[in-house]
């Protein structure tokens, strides 16, 4: 972080100021621990105090370590006002905009960085592979410290991947595939280990289900994840209910995180209340722990300095903002992140998909007939009310769910662009566009179902057994 007091702090968002204060605090601690010259320490302390004052001016509250500000925007008189357009947290995604969440605003509010053309080109140079269409199309749109991951990779230093799934139901829908499809590509092009956390403990704590049912869902979801094509020699999948009792390294990291995060901080980050069970309050530390390589001594030979890259939807970012705040205080590298947009419900980007509503999405268990019926009957259209109006004015690709789904799953860039142009011009009707989506999704789901049939209980056991992977550390 630049130490110059002349930098324009007024241009920073409250969350960016919070992160500047946090980084400067880490610098002060490092200087003191390293017995740096007194004038250097004093200068760093003055900068820290200046940043804290700027933070209080912007938010109206004192800086508290590990407790980021709520989503605030400044209004003309300098007071703070809650932004009411989009609500994004690990359990809720709400927007009043038919186009979906405003991701540019979310980047500013969360203090992350946009994945721009320069970063995409650098990934291509580093891997020698064409960037995944999720990158090219902005589906993964935001990051934290991906440049550090590339620095390490270019200097022949390894890293590992970590992603996860909360097994809330037996059947997964196509939106659940997004992080796994992208993570599989990352693993292939970078050739690194991957750990996948199944948070069956979380679902037991949050949902009305038994522990046995949560564990059963974890095993079933593991079959769908394995069916994405992961390499058993390079991938470890684990259930929290299983692994926590067998790995002292994992549990030690959970306790380290728990010691450095207060109840007040998790209330501020996650919105917990005094009536929430203590299991919920302690859970964020369990999702944080896989960010540290010492949680997997069998994979990394006990090494603690291997950085982690986490591909996930951006609603999971609060967990890892907390993790990144704690990491330096427990002597661990901060995890890097790649954030994806949200997968829309069939009824439109304003509607949240629900496992309890079978018509809100296409499930991995759906038959070709069910897929066709769902798309024809429920996929929100950006078309006009009549054929005549549609031919004259064209369709709206920004709100049309068929276009949104094809952006995720139609890999041919030229074909996608041709469909968008034809729909916008009115040449292509809504029914014709939905037919293209049906013909795209039916073979994709059928192929997944065929691969899943090959995933036996024995294969699941192989993936979920703690073991050394095909890497040397």
Query: Which phi and psi angles does 204 have, rounded to 5°?
Result: -65, -40
**Cα separation values, 11 from 15, 53, 57, 63, 144, Å:** 12, 15, 13, 18, 20
Q: Hey, is 36 helix, strand or coil?
A: coil
Burial grade of 352 (CB within 10 A; 0-12, 13-18, 19 or more): middle
> Measured between alpha carbons, how far is 215 from 402 in angstroms, rounded to an integer?
34
Q: Where are the alpha helices (DSSP H) in 155-277?
A: 174-190, 200-206, 211-226, 240-243, 248-259, 263-270
The confidence score (pLDDT) of residue 355 equals: 62
Query: Which phi and psi angles does 393 have, rounded to 5°?
Result: -105, -20
E strand intervals along 223-357? 235-239, 308-313, 336-340
> Measured between alpha carbons, how far is 412 from 436 in angstroms, rounded to an integer?
13
**pLDDT tens for each residue of the chain, 473 residues long:** 444 444 466 667 777 788 788 788 778 877 887 788 888 888 888 888 888 888 877 777 777 765 666 544 332 333 333 445 676 666 566 666 666 788 888 898 888 999 999 999 999 999 999 999 999 999 999 999 999 999 999 999 999 999 999 998 888 999 999 999 999 999 999 999 999 999 999 999 999 999 999 999 999 999 999 999 999 999 999 999 999 999 999 999 999 999 999 999 999 899 899 999 999 999 999 999 999 999 999 999 989 889 999 999 998 999 999 999 999 999 999 999 999 998 999 988 766 566 667 888 999 999 999 999 999 999 999 999 899 999 999 999 999 999 999 999 999 999 999 999 999 999 999 999 999 999 999 999 999 999 999 999 999 999 999 999 999 99
Handedness of CA 148, 153, 155, 157 (dihedral sign): positive
**Cα separation values, 467 from 61, 204, 377, Å:** 48, 27, 47
> Measured between alpha carbons, how far is 279 from 374 in angstroms, rounded to an integer?
38
> Measured between alpha carbons, how far is 245 from 257 in angstroms, rounded to an integer?
17
How does pLDDT run across 397-428, given as a tens digit for each residue? 999 999 999 999 999 999 999 999 999 999 99
The confidence score (pLDDT) of residue 109 equals: 85
Rg over alpha carbons for the chain, rounded to the nearest Å, is: 23
Residue 114's beta-bridge partner residues? 142
Q: Hey, is 456 helix, strand or coil?
A: coil
> Measured between alpha carbons, how far is 290 from 308 in angstroms, rounded to an integer?
9
| Segment holding 164, helix H or strand E | strand 160-165
Residue 324 · residue 335 · CB < 8 Å:
yes
Residue 151 · residue 140 · CB < 8 Å:
no
| Segment holding 86, helix H or strand E | strand 86-88
Residue 253's beta-bridge partner residues? none
Residue 454 · residue 418 · CB < 8 Å:
no
The confidence score (pLDDT) of residue 71 equals: 44
> Shortest CA distance to 293 belongs to which of 462, 161, 148, 157?
161
- How remote is the C-alpha of 389 from its chain's centroid? 40
Q: Where are the alpha helices (DSSP H) in 381-429?
A: 387-393, 401-409, 413-425
Residue 229 · residue 184 · CB < 8 Å:
yes
Q: 132: which residues sit within 8 A by CB, 6+ positions away?
A: 140, 182, 185
Q: Which two tokens stand for residue 359?
A: 């018509």
Residue 31 · residue 3 · CB < 8 Å:
no
The confidence score (pLDDT) of residue 65 equals: 67
Residue 308 · residue 335 · CB < 8 Å:
yes
Domains of the chain, earliest start first: 14-59 (1.10.287.10), 89-347+458-464 (3.40.50.620), 368-454 (1.10.240.10)
Q: Where are the alpha helices (DSSP H) in 260-353?
A: 263-270, 278-288, 297-300, 317-326
| Segment holding 140, helix H or strand E | strand 140-144
**Cα separation values, 287 from 257, 310, 333, 468, Å:** 10, 12, 16, 22
């Amino acid at each position: 972080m630049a130490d110059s007091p002349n930098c324009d702090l007024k241009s920073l968002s409250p969350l960016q100021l919070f992160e500047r204060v946090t980084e400067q605090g880490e610098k002060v601690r490092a200087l003191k621990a390293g017995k740096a010259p007194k004038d250097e320490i004093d200068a760093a302390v003055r900068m820290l105090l200046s940043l804290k004052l700027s933070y209080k001016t912007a938010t109206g509250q004192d800086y508290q370590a590990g407790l980021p500000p709520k989503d605030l925007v400044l209004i003309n008189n300098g007071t703070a006002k809650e932004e009411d357009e989009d609500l994004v947290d690990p359990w809720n995604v709400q927007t009043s905009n038919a186009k979906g969440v405003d991701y540019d605003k979310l980047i500013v509010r969360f203090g992350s960085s946009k994945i721009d053309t320069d970063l995409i080109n650098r990934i291509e140079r580093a891997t020698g592979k064409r960037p995944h269409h999720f990158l090219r199309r902005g589906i993964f749109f935001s990051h934290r410290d991906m440049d550090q991951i590339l620095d390490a990779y270019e200097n022949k230093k390894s890293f590992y991947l970590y992603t996860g799934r909360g097994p809330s139901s037996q059947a997964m829908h196509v939106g659940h595939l997004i992080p796994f499809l992208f993570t599989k590509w990352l693993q292939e092009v970078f050739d690194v280990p991957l750990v996948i956390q199944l948070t069956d403990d979380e679902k037991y704590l949050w949902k009305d289900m038994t522990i046995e049912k949560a564990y059963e869902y974890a095993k079933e979801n593991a079959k769908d994840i394995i069916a994405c094509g992961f390499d058993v020699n390079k991938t470890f999948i684990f259930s929290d209910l299983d692994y926590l009792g067998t790995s002292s390294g994992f549990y030690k990291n959970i306790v380290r995180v728990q010691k450095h995060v207060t109840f007040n901080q998790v209330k501020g980050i996650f919105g917990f209340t005094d009536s929430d069970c203590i299991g919920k309050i302690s859970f964020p530390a369990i999702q944080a722990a896989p960010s540290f390589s010492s949680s997997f001594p069998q994979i990394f030979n006990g090494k603690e300095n291997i950085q982690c890259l986490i591909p996930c939807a951006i609603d999971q970012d609060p967990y890892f903002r907390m993790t990144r705040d704690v990491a330096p205080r427990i002597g661990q590298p901060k995890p890097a992140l790649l954030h994806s947009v949200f997968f829309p419900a069939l009824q439109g980007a304003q509607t949240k998909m629900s496992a309890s509503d079978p018509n809100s999405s296409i499930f991995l268990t759906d038959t070709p007939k069910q897929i066709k019926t769902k798309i024809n009957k429920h996929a929100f259209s950006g078309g006009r009310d009549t054929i005549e109006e549609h031919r004259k004015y064209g369709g709206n690709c920004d709100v049309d769910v068929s276009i949104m789904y094809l952006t995720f799953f139609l890999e041919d860039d030229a074909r996608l662009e041709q469909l968008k142009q034809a729909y916008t011009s009115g040449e292509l009707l809504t029914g014709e566009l939905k037919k293209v989506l049906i013909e795209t999704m039916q073979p994709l789901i059928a192929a997944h179902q065929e691969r899943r049939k090959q995933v036996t209980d024995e294969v699941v056991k192989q993936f979920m057994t703690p073991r050394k992977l095909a890497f040397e550390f």
